[in-house]
Structure 1
């Protein structure tokens, strides 16, 4: 039997890379891409486990899954940071640099 490429192996790798690259887009884009990559990687791993001799590309799946997990962690941390910034300085403070500096001075007690 001829070996086939695992379904979505390249897509998983690309989504894993993009989840890290886009983690600074308020955390949402990287989080979504990372979760999709992990779900697809789990499905591909199950397919591979049923017939390891029939498929190639498991290294792309494993690498993509690891990158996706890193992307999920980075995106989650960035999302928490953005939420903290909004709660601390307000959305208006993030939009206006002078207001942000004023609120930082208030926090510092000056």
Structure 2
């Protein structure tokens, strides 16, 4: 954590780091995730000297919470399914619908 950060940000950093480690991330990766998240929150709250445009205008990390993981109700996108089918060399993939790609990949 940067020098001069608040006790709240310190607690937030530790919580995020511990959560990432519990999900199986390495210690180094967990620290990176925590630092990036806390720094973005500091920028959004005006607690840092500099901030990128996306840090200020993007949805907060607390609100976003996995919305971009593509594992929600609709699952992976057709493009993601197609790319996996291409890697597995599934024939006829270019003419398949999303549902057909899902079925072909589940075999």
- Range class of TM-score, shorter chain: under 0.3
The structure that has the greater radius of gyration is 1
Q: Which has the higher contact order (CA 8 A, sep 6+)?
A: 1
Higher helix proportion: 1
TM-score in terms of structure 1 length:
0.24
TM-score in terms of structure 2 length:
0.24
